[in-house]
C-alpha cells in the first residue's frame, strides 16, 4: 500500500519485469504460504507499512487474500458496487474511469504494481468509478473491516492508512491543477516526468519505458483530444526532448522537458 500519490502508468522495459506470482486459491502448504506472503513479493517495500513488528507483519499478512487474476479489459470493481475491500496491485496495471451520461469514458487515474485501489469507496460505502485492467494483472484483496480493526490496535498501520487517504486527496488536487492551469505541452511534459520519477524510485531506468495505455487514454486523463496528444509527442520529438516509437518512450533531455 503505497504512501504517496502516484500516477504509475507504465511498464519498465530496461530491466526484467517484476515477477507475477501465480496464486489462485488459498495457500495451504508451507511452500504455498511462503509464495503468497508479502515478504516474498517484489512490491513489499511499496505496499506494507514500515516499522511493523514480526507478529504484526504476520497478522497483516493473515488479513490479505491470495492474489486474484484480472484479465485485460475485465473489471476489478464497477461504479456503485458495494465497498468491501481495498486492493494492492501485485502485478500489471489498471485504469480508473467514470462514465458521462452520454456514454463517454473519462480516465481518472492509472495504477501499477505497488499501488492501492478501491479507497474511493470509503466515503459512501460504494465505489465511485470503474477499475479496469489494462493488461493481465494480479491484486491482493484486503477486507477493509478487518483492516480497520487492526488499525485501532496498531498505530503504525493506522498512520499508513491515513497517509494513503491523504495521498488520494493530493492526487485529486494535482489532477485538478493539471487540467485547470496547464497548457497542452505542459500537461504531457508533466505526465512524462511523473512516469520517469516513479520508475526511478522503483530502481528502473527513468529515461526509457513502455507505456501500457493508449494515446487516447492518455488524452482522456489529461483532458485532451487524441490528436493533441499525438501532436505534443511529435513536437517533443522534433525539439529533441524525447524519442518515441509507438508506445516506447525514451527521454533524451530531462532538463529540457522540465523547463516545458
Cα–Cα distance for residue pair 225/240, rounded to 1 Å:
23
Residue 247 has pLDDT above 60, yes or no: yes
Rounded distance between C-alpha atoms, residue 33 and residue 85, angstroms: 21
Pull the grid cell for residue 18: 517484476
* pLDDT above 50 (res 26): no
What single DSSP character describes residue 120?
G
Closest CA to 236 of 193, 180, 194: 193
**Domain 182-259, CATH class in plain words:** mainly alpha
Residue 84: is its pLDDT beyond 70?
A: yes
DSSP per-residue codes, 8-62: --EEE-SSPPPP-----S---SHHHHHHHSGGGSTTHHHHSPTT--HHHHHHHHH
Sign of CA dihedral 152, 5, 217, 199: negative
Distances from the Cα of 226 to the Cα of 60, 211, 214, angstroms? 43, 15, 9
Interatomic CA distance for residues 158 and 224, integer angstroms: 38
Please report, for residues 26, 69, 177, the alpha-carbon distance to residue 242 in angstroms, rounded to integers and kept in the order given: 45, 34, 24
Please state, for a pLDDT cut of 70, what percent of the chain lies above it: 85
Q: What percent of the chain has pLDDT over 90?
A: 49
Does the structural domain 10-179 have CATH classification 1.10.357.10? no
Q: What is the pTM of this model?
A: 0.80
Residue spans of the domains in the chain: they are: 10-179, 182-259
Amino acid at each position: 500500500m503505497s504512501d504517496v500519490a502516484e500516477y504509475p502508468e507504465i511498464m519498465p522495459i530496461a530491466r526484467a519485469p517484476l515477477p507475477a506470482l501465480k496464486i489462485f486459491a488459498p495457500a495451504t502448504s508451507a511452500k504455498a504460504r511462503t509464495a503468497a506472503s508479502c515478504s516474498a513479493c517484489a512490491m513489499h517495500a511499496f505496499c506494507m507499512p514500515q516499522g511493523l513488528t514480526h507478529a504484526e507483519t504476520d497478522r497483516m499478512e493473515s488479513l490479505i487474500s491470495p492474489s486474484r487474476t484480472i484479465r485485460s479489459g475485465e473489471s476489478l470493481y464497477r461504479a456503485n458496487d458495494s465497498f468491501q475491500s481495498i486492493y494492492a496491485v501485485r502485478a500489471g496495471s489498471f485504469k480508473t474511469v467514470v462514465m458521462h451520461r452520454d456514454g463517454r469514458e473519462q480516465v481518472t487515474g492509472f495504477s501499477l504494481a505497488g499501488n492501492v485501489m478501491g479507497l474511493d469507496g470509503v466515503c459512501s460505502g460504494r465505489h465511485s468509478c470503474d477499475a479496469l485492467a489494462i493488461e493481465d494483472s494480479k491484486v491482493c484483496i484486503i477486507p477493509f473491516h478487518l483492516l480497520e480493526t487492526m488499525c485501532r490496535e496498531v498505530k503504525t498501520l493506522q498512520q499508513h492508512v491515513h497517509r494513503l487517504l491523504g495521498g488520494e486527496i493530493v492526487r485529486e488536487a494535482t489532477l485538478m491543477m493539471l487540467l485547470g492551469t496547464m497548457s497542452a505541452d505542459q500537461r504531457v511534459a508533466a505526465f512524462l516526468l511523473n512516469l520517469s520519477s516513479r520508475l526511478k524510485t522503483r530502481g528502473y531506468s527513468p529515461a526509457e519505458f513502455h507505456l501500457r495505455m493508449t494515446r487516447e487514454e492518455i488524452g482522456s486523463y489529461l483532458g485532451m483530444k487524441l490528436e493533441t496528444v499525438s501532436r505534443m509527442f511529435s513536437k517533443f520529438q522534433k525539439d529533441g526532448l524525447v524519442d518515441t516509437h509507438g508506445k516506447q518512450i525514451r527521454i533524451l533531455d530531462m532538463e529540457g522537458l522540465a523547463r516545458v
